Homo-oligomer: A and B are copies of this chain.
Amino acid sequence: MSDLLDRLRGRGWRMTAQRRVVAEVLDGEHIHLTADEVLVRATARLPEISRATVYNTLGELVSLGEVLEVATDARAKRYDPNAHRPHQHLLCSHCGTIRDVHPTDDPLSALPAHERFGFTVVAAEVTYRGLCPECAAGA
């Protein structure tokens, strides 16, 4: 994740303890935290950090393209640090677990021209829904 910190500094981002902690909390694979979860984990490392700062920092990371916003339900947005490899999401409808997945085809190619209504289509987001092994086992 120091890659990320370096990239941010290179872009003229002013480095503060708060921003570092938020970036660190988001490090990893299959991480999809809500803003509130980020706040809890960040507070564990830096007790004085405020909610507004977490929201500000997440918003900046998103507009810098370093983190993706994921809206799987209409509850809290989730933040996905895996922004540099295109991927989709696989969601357990029972427990809410999210995994990053990589489909074989570009989903864009499945939308024929006559179904595009003249739109300039630039992206396709796919959410696969199902049950994770634990929930399927009736756990």
Question: Are B73 and A101 in contact (CB-based, < 8 A)?
Answer: no
Instruction: State A133–B76 Cα separation when bound (angstroms).
Output: 31
Question: Are B105 and A117 in contact (CB-based, < 8 A)?
Answer: no
Q: Is A127 an interface residue when CB atoms closer than 8 A count as contact?
A: yes
CB-CB nearest in chain B for A93: B122
Instruction: State A118–B93 Cα separation when bound (angstroms).
Output: 14
Indicate with 1 or 0, residue by residue over A14-48, a CB within 8 angstroms of chain B CB atoms. 00000000000000000000000000000000000
- The 6 A-B residue pairs with the shortest CB-CB distance in the complex, in nearest-first order: A121-B130, A103-B110, A118-B133, A71-B74, A74-B77, A105-B110
Q: How far is the CB of A103 from chain B (nearest CB, A)?
A: 4
Q: Is A72 an interface residue when CB atoms closer than 8 A count as contact?
A: yes
